[in-house]
Amino acid sequence: MKRLLILALLGLSSFAPAKAAGVSLLTEEYPPFSYREGKEIKGASIEQVEKVMAAAGVEYKIEMVPWTRAYALAQTTPMTCVFTTAHNAQRDALFKWVEPLLVDRNILIAKAGSGVSAKTLEDAKRYTVGTHRGDYTEALLKDHGFTKIDLATDFKASLRKLLNGRIDMMPISEPYFEKLKAEQPLEKVALLAAQPMGIACEKSFPADLLAKMQDALNKLIADGTQKAIFEKYGLRPAD
């Protein structure tokens, strides 16, 4: 009888509702949107994501890892998202989206005084342009016909190459450029592209949770919280 009772209880346990899994949110080091300050992860995107997840009422963990790893995991691992991710035609069907954390204009920049200039993107193709491997700007450059592309391990490596004269130009978020040019000798060359940036989640991500996250982000935008976060980090939001 005892054996039968145990077996019955084990059978019933298989029908018990599963404990809700937490969400894994992956990002890269890309100040001022996401960066480390000591042991703390901070940034304009980090603050928005923290508020969105708190409002959604679900357990979550934010981790900073190399972009190529983060992007791959968000395509293959349930309950996993990556941010801040550019939403373009190539990526649209790969993820479920919560956006925008930012409406971004991506521009090509050069070191000030380098003599690099281009009135059009066709002119810019004469130069060596650097970006980091796996970033959406790599695909953008290729889509626009750029062939002289130098790939680095991360954004900071490309910036060092630009300042040291090892590459001629690099793409960068225009809001970040507005902040960075006060610290580094940089100048704008040309507009490369514009697109929304958001949270990209694995395709089996629960629709009800995604809706809660989107609703929370919509409220941050509507009540001015997103704008206040941008201003806190010295960013000028797009009109």
β-pairing, 186-201 vs 96-111, is antiparallel
Torsion of CA 49, 172, 148, 125, to 10 degrees: 130
Residue 108 lies in a domain: yes
Sign, Cα dihedral of 65, 183, 105, 187 = negative
The whole-number pLDDT of residue 237 equals 62
Residue 2 lies in a domain: no
Residue 136 lies in a domain: yes
The whole-number pLDDT of residue 238 equals 54
Neighbouring CB atoms inside 10 A of 161's CB total 17
Q: Show the tokens assigned to 22.
A: 């937490």
Predicted TM-score (pTM) of this structure: 0.73
What span, in angstroms and rounded, lies between the C-alpha atoms of 192 and 144?
9
Whether 96 and 81 share a structural domain: yes
Whether 184 and 202 share a structural domain: no
Whether 93 and 159 share a structural domain: no
Whether 32 and 150 share a structural domain: no
Whether 88 and 34 share a structural domain: yes
Sign, Cα dihedral of 60, 62, 67, 70 = negative
What span, in angstroms and rounded, lies between the C-alpha atoms of 143 and 231?
33
Per-residue pLDDT of the chain (239 residues; tens, 9 = 90+): 334 333 333 343 333 333 345 999 999 998 899 999 999 999 999 999 999 999 999 999 999 999 999 999 999 999 999 999 999 888 999 999 999 999 989 999 999 999 999 999 999 999 999 999 988 899 899 999 999 999 999 999 999 999 999 999 999 989 889 889 999 999 999 999 888 999 999 999 999 999 999 999 999 999 999 999 999 998 876 54
Whether 205 and 183 share a structural domain: no
The whole-number pLDDT of residue 209 equals 98
C-alpha closest to that of 30 among 144, 147, 180, 130: 180
Residue 58 lies in a domain: yes
CATH code for the domain of 180: 3.40.190.10
The whole-number pLDDT of residue 239 equals 43
Parent domain of 87: 24-103+196-232
Whether 191 and 220 share a structural domain: no
Residue 18 lies in a domain: no
Q: What's at 207, amino acid-wise?
A: A
What span, in angstroms and rounded, lies between the C-alpha atoms of 58 and 135?
29
What span, in angstroms and rounded, lies between the C-alpha atoms of 96 and 114?
42
Count of the separate structural domains present in the chain: 2
What span, in angstroms and rounded, lies between the C-alpha atoms of 83 and 74?
10
Residue 128 lies in a domain: yes
Residue 181 lies in a domain: yes
Whether 65 and 48 share a structural domain: yes
What span, in angstroms and rounded, lies between the C-alpha atoms of 29 and 36?
7
Residue 185 lies in a domain: yes
The whole-number pLDDT of residue 179 equals 84
Pair 31, 37: CB distance under 8 Å: no
Report the first-to-last Cα separation within the chain, whole angstroms. Answer: 72
Whether 99 and 201 share a structural domain: yes
